[in-house]
Amino acid sequence: MTDRETAEASPPTPQAITVEDVRHDDEVRQFVRKADENLAVLGYTEHGPRHAGLVADIAQNVLLRLGRPRREAELAAVAGYLHDIGNGISRLDHGIAAALIAQRVLERLGMPPDEVVEVMCAIGNHEEEYGEPVSALAAAVILADKSDVHRSRVRVIDPTTDDIHDRVNSATRRSFLAVDPKAKTITLQMEIDTGTIHLMEYFEIFLERMVMCRKAAEALGCRFGLEINGTQLL
């Protein structure tokens, strides 16, 4: 075997892969694009580069604000960016599919196995059906994903739509996940146009997600809160 053949057959040297490496990888771009296209056909809100990037940024910020190691926060960002790429295959069990796709991508890029498995775990635990905040990364991705409620995710703004998810997102003017390390609180602050929807519609579709956020915050040693239009509800 020649030196070149030996080099090509050898796995890449483990290195500190960043969220920017992942964001600009062509294979990742294609999976993010296809995932968003599939969900558009099914009538879901936006799940493309905007959502992936925002979840990555929020997950990273949550851990940094809580004083967690910077590398851990970077891995949370990586998991956040990749968490929905399984939708490129199917909506069903997309978190598990995303974790498996991410494994191949991250190994190809050269991420060490101990980091790969942590990212896979966070991705595979972000959905309500079976997800649990079993690690700091998983907790951060859950909080970041579930806090992205905003009118910019709605593909066609129509206040008369029968889709409750579109109505709730359309009515949401602002959402922000506030982390207070001193008070040990993580609060989802939202501004909702109650002339467009009734607040009960929000809880009708998002209560399960808020319960998941409470568990995630507790896993990080914090209390979870929900504030809508300046009023603390949880």
Q: What is the DSSP string of 47-94?
A: -SHHHHHHHHHHHHHHHHHTT--HHHHHHHHHHHHHTTGGGGT-STTH
pLDDT of the residue at 167: 83
Please tell me which residue, 59 or 198, carries the higher pLDDT value: 59
Q: What is the mean pLDDT of residues 202-212?
A: 90
Under the banding of pLDDT at 50, 70 and 90, the label for residue 117 is very high
For residue 1, being part of any structural domain is answered with no
Amino acid at 64: L
For residue 183, being part of any structural domain is answered with yes
- Specify which residues 188 forms β-bridges with: 177, 226
- Specify which residues 225 forms β-bridges with: 187
C-alpha separations of 211 from 12, 85, 132, 182, 215 in Å: 41, 24, 11, 23, 6
Question: Where are the alpha helices (H) located in the chain, listed in sequence order?
Answer: 3-9, 19-23, 26-42, 49-65, 70-82, 94-109, 113-124, 136-146, 164-171, 199-219
- Is residue 80's pLDDT more than 60? yes
pLDDT of the residue at 160: 60
User: Is 105 in contact with 22 (CB distance < 8 Å)?
Assistant: yes
For residue 218, being part of any structural domain is answered with yes
Q: Give 167-198 pLDDT, tens digit per residue.
A: 888 889 999 999 999 999 999 999 999 888 88
**How many structural domains does the chain have?**
1
For residue 5, being part of any structural domain is answered with no
Under the banding of pLDDT at 50, 70 and 90, the label for residue 1 is very low
Average pLDDT, the chain: 91
In angstroms, the CA 121 to CA 219 distance is 15
Total number of residues shown for the chain? 234
User: Is 145 in contact with 83 (CB distance < 8 Å)?
Assistant: yes
For residue 201, being part of any structural domain is answered with yes
Please identify which residue in the block is written with the tokens 């929900």. Answer: 226
pLDDT of the residue at 6: 47
In angstroms, the CA 23 to CA 17 distance is 11
pLDDT of the residue at 198: 85
For residue 197, being part of any structural domain is answered with yes
Please tell me which residue, 110 or 45, carries the higher pLDDT value: 110
For residue 23, being part of any structural domain is answered with yes
pLDDT of the residue at 103: 98
What CATH number corresponds to the domain at position 42? Answer: 1.10.3210.10
- Is residue 163's pLDDT more than 80? no
- Is residue 3's pLDDT more than 60? no
- Is residue 164's pLDDT more than 80? no
pLDDT of the residue at 55: 97
pLDDT of the residue at 170: 86
Q: Give 122-161 pLDDT, tens digit per residue.
A: 999 999 889 999 999 999 999 999 999 888 788 776 656 6
Q: Give 6-57 pLDDT, tens digit per residue.
A: 444 555 667 899 999 999 999 999 999 999 999 999 988 889 999 999 999 9
**pTM, 2 dp:** 0.89
User: If residue 187 lies in a helix (H) or strand (E), which one and from where to where?
Assistant: strand 185-192
Supply the range of the domain harboring residue 61: 13-232
For residue 6, being part of any structural domain is answered with no
